[in-house]
A = this chain, B = another copy of it.
Amino acid sequence: VPTLRDLGEIEVLRRLTADRSPAAGVALGPGDDAAVLDPSPGTELVATTDAFVEGAHYLPAWSAPERTGARLATANLSDLAAMAATPRWALLSIGARPESEVDALLALQRGAEDRLARFGAVVVGGNLTSVSGAEWASLTLLGEVPAGRYWTRSGARPGDLLAITGSPGRAGAGLALARRLEAGARSPEWQALLDAWLEPEPRLDLALDLASTGAVKAAMDVSDGVAQDLARLCEASGVGAEIATGEWPDDSELARASHSLGVPLEALRLGPSDDYELVLAVDPKRRAACEDVAARHGVALGFVGRFIEESGLSVRLAGGEVRALRPKGYDAFEGEG
Interface residues, chain A, with chain B CB atoms under 8 Å away: 4-5, 7-10, 12, 27-28, 31-39, 41, 44-51, 53, 55-57, 79-80, 82-83, 85, 89, 91, 93, 95, 98, 124-134, 136, 138, 140, 142-143, 145, 147, 150, 152-154, 219-221, 236, 330-335
State in angstroms the CA–CA spacing of A152 and B130 once bound together.
26
Q: In the complex the two chains form, is B129's CB within 8 Å of A57's CB?
A: yes
Identify the closest chain B residue to A332 (Cβ): B130
Specify which chain B residues have a CB less than 8 angstroms from the CB of A219 in the assembled complex. Answer: 33
Assess whether B93 is in contact with A140, with CB atoms less than 8 Å apart. yes
Minimal Cβ-Cβ distance residue in B for A39: B39
Give Cα A330 to B46, complex, Å.
35
With A51-B93, A51-B129 given, is the CB distance from A36 to B45 under 8 Å? yes
Residues of B close to A55: CB separation below 8 A: 132
Q: CB distance B221 to A83 under 8 Å? A: no
A4 and B51 alpha carbons, distance in the complex (Å): 18
The contact of A37 among B47, B152, B333, by CB within 8 Å, is: B47
Determine if B49 and A333 form an interchain contact, defined as CB atoms under 8 angstroms apart.
no
* Residues on B with beta carbons closer than 8 Å to the beta carbon of A51: 93, 95, 127, 129, 138
Contact of A8 among B93, B134, B331 (CB under 8 A): B331
B5, B31, B147: the one contacting A335 at CB < 8 Å is B5
A128–B49 CA distance with the chains assembled, in angstroms: 10
Shortest CB-to-CB span from A63 to chain B, Å, is 17
Residues of B within 8 A of A4 (CB): 333
A8-B334, A56-B129 as given contacts; A83 in contact with B49, CB under 8 Å:
no
Q: Select from chain B the residue with minimum beta-carbon distance to A100.
A: B333
Interfacial chain B residues near A34, Cβ < 8 Å: 46-48, 79-80, 82-83, 85, 143
CB contacts (< 8 Å) of A38 on chain B: these are: 44-45, 147
Contact A332 B128, beta carbon cutoff 8 Å: yes
Q: Is the CB of A333 within 8 A of B5?
A: yes
